[in-house]
Amino acid sequence: MSATYYRLPLDLEGVLERQLLPRCSVQESIAQHLYLMLTTYFGESRYEPDFGCQVWEQDFEAMTTMRWKDNVQHSVEQSIRLYEPRLVRARAQVAVTDFELRNVSQRIRKRLEVTITAALHRTDEPFAFQASLFVAPLSID
- Domains of the chain, CATH where assigned: 5-140 (3.10.450.40)
- pLDDT at res. 139: 54
Q: Give the global pTM.
A: 0.83
Listed residue (74, 71, 119) closest to 92, CA to CA: 74
pLDDT digits (tens, 9 = 90+) for 70-127: 888 999 999 999 999 999 999 999 988 877 666 656 566 778 899 999 999 999 999 9
In this structure, what DSSP letter does residue 56 have? G
| More confident call, 22 vs 110 | 22
d(CA 114, CA 43): 21
Q: Is the pLDDT of residue 66 over 50?
A: yes
pLDDT digits (tens, 9 = 90+) for 31-64: 999 999 999 988 898 899 999 988 877 656 566 6
- pLDDT at res. 101: 65
CA distances to 8, 22, 34 from 28, rounded to whole Å, are 10, 12, 10
